[in-house]
Amino acid sequence: MKENLIQTRTFNFSLASIQLYRLLTEEKEYIISKQLLRAATSIGANVVEAEAAQSKADFIAKMSIASKEARETRYWLQLLDKSNFTKHDLKMNLNEVDEIIKIITSIVKTSRERS
């Protein structure tokens, strides 16, 4: 079976986000880290749900939700980065979420054009 790139990337991003959450809670950051964890892990969950969509419209709707969650994740990462709360470098996380946003946006756009 062919590997699904967006599923793999969002799953790995979720794992990285769980690690970041653990680091942030060790630094006593509980509020933003929880928001980040929820949004970041939701991206992949919605991508997986989209793969089991009942229709093209359902697929587009689920992928659109994944896109919104990715954008929210980017917001929380930027907030953490600019607030200088954490000593951890968030550039890799920010770069990966930006790439995920590009991929999902392309998927949604192409899917809309084909329906």
pLDDT in tens, 7-60: 999 999 999 999 999 999 999 999 999 999 999 999 999 999 999 999 999 999
Q: How far apart are CA 78 and CA 63, in angstroms?
A: 22
* Tally of domains within the chain: 1
Q: Is the pLDDT of residue 82 over 70?
A: yes
What is the average pLDDT value for the chain, to the nearest integer?
95
For the entire predicted model, the pTM comes to 0.94
- Return the CATH number at 63: 1.20.1440.60
Residue 77: closest CA among 47, 104, 40: 40
Domain of residue 19 covers: 5-114
* CA atoms of 19 and 13, how far apart (whole Å): 10
Q: Average pLDDT for residues 98-102, to the nearest whole number?
A: 98
State the average pLDDT over residues 67-76: 98
**CA 36 – CA 18 distance, rounded (Å):** 9
